[in-house]
Chains A and B, each alone.
Chain A
Amino acid sequence: DVKVTQSSRYLVKRTGEKVFLECVQDMDHENMFWYRQDPGLGLRLIYFSYDVKMKEKGDIPEGYSVSREKKERFSLILESASTNQTSMYLCASSFFSQLYNEKLFFGSGTQLSVL
């Protein structure tokens, strides 16, 4: 079974702190994604990566950065956390296909609260 593991299930941080969310997948997937999920807004893509050291902005990249130094690991960084970044963060991965997206495998999510 594909496993996408997010390092923390719940996280509480203070405004202005630097926050790292880690995600590891064990299926040798090329693509990795970070989404945030908010009530009434559904899933919104923050960043994705289709290869090591490659990254692309999603729909809401402001206030976030990412790092992909190894194929299996994709990190989301909040440089200076703010209260409006309180949310559920979902990591996902998939195989690469030239023409289409492949189905996503999601991690269990990190509920981040910024106080």
Chain B
Amino acid sequence: ELKVEQNPLFLSMQEGKNYTIYCNYSTTSDRLYWYRQDPGKSLESLFVLLSNGAVKQEGRLMASLDTKARLSTLHITAAVHDLSATYFCAVDPPPGSSNYKLTFGKGTLLTVNP
């Protein structure tokens, strides 16, 4: 059974600082997704990482994937208040699996303080 662990689950940081959220998963997978959820809102896709070594960047967020280590990171550079949200990673089932079920991590609640 695929398990996805995010850490930290809660992150309070100051504006202007850098930090990294980690997403580990337990079995082989080739695809990983990052989603953002603003308070009271639904989830919005941020990044789709398609292969080992993939790196995607948008604004102050950069995501990377290491399929050998079964690890993805979401790096925040010079945080601003607008980045306050809950961030979820989600992982595809193993290659060759017959199901289509994404497995989500529990989410990281990020609060950026002035």
Residues of A at the B interface (CB closer than 8 Å) are 31, 40-45, 48, 50, 56, 58-59, 90, 92, 99-101, 103-109
Contact = CB atoms under 8 A, between A and B. Distances in A.
The A contact surface, by secondary structure, is loop
A22 B45 CA distance: 22
Contacts of A105: 45
Given A41-B106, A56-B99, A103 B45 contact: yes
Contacts of B107: 42
A-B interface, 6 closest residue pairs, ranked by CB to CB distance from nearest: A42-B106, A106-B42, A43-B104, A106-B43, A103-B45, A108-B42
Interface string B58-99: 000000000000000000000000000000101010010001
Nearest to B47: A103
Nearest to B6: A42
A101 B45 contact: no
A107 B42 contact: yes
A42 B109 CA distance: 11
Contacts of B48: 103
Given A100-B30, A106-B43, A106-B44, A42 B101 contact: no
A90 B106 contact: no
